[in-house]
Chain A
């Protein structure tokens, strides 16, 4: 499995890494980015099976990155992990094609659900 985690906060990236199921972490290829530009470049290079994307980031925010990732690949699976819990933000990213919006800090149980729901094969 290929996983992309994009957040300008090292702690937030570490939180996802530490809380994802151990079996996934041990077997997956994992890339990390710190802004939207890096997200797009890493997505195009590696075509990850799942992306965890923050919204509020420098250089390019998550809204723009999501738009460009979806334009590049309509089958992309992007989970937004954000402190922005406004209903309008959630509606906006869902309209842009995100799979779901996860409030920070994401917990282990939710991460397990997300990985369990990934299509196999």
Chain B
């Protein structure tokens, strides 16, 4: 497992990256978000599905997945509970003549979540990569609303999961989600080396 000192470096770099992502989303919503420092933890890939269901305490969650490639590569999963999805619709459509989120179809809800998770994931990971002196590209994201992830852990070639627990707080209207960065042993080692380099070259 990652050393405590490197975990602290990763936490601060993700905090900076999440600030960039939050600013992008706040601008998109034409709103202001109170920034909260995201919590960072690590879990094994086999525990990911259980973590998502236990963490959100509900039967079904929206999950988006998106691959990223480069010197650092892997896959992002973003998970959001239905209440947060509803809050998000309220924020997006607050200025429009909509009677709450009830008028939105499941497809429309999924499309807006897909867009937000795409911005959150690519801004956050993109900024993290930049801080670590590398560059990554992103594949198009996919979304599901169900009890399961799009793929089972056995179908995914990863061993490590970095969990970033996020809150987008728009005037007490909270969008809570978890961003999971999944990567292989090899990529996790690359990340540790990159964090050591960052610390050494401060």
Report which A residues bind B (CB closer than 8 A): 8-12, 14-15, 18-19, 55-56, 82-89, 104-105
Q: Could you give, for residues 49-90 of chain B, a 1 whenever the CB lies within 8 Å of some chain A CB and a 0 otherwise? A: 000000000000000000000000000000000000000000
> B165 contacts the other chain (Cβ, under 8 Å)?
no
Query: Which interface residue of A10, A15, A86 has the most chain B CB atoms within 10 A?
Result: A86
Q: Inter-chain contact count A-B, CB under 8 Å?
A: 52
> B16 contacts the other chain (Cβ, under 8 Å)?
yes
Q: Could you give, for residues 21-40 of chain B, a 1 whenever the CB lies within 8 Å of some chain A CB and a 0 otherwise? A: 01100110000110111000
Interface size range of chain B in the complex:
20 to 34
B26 near A86 (CB under 8 angstroms)?
A: yes
Report which B residues bind A (CB closer than 8 A): 8-9, 11-12, 15-20, 22-23, 26-27, 32-33, 35-37, 131, 199, 202
A14 CB contact (under 8 Å) in B22, B36, B202 = B202
Known contacts A19-B202, A85-B20, A105-B131; A10 and B36 CB within 8 A of each other: no
- For B199, what are the chain A residues with a Cβ–Cβ distance below 8 Å? 11
B23 near A56 (CB under 8 angstroms)?
A: no
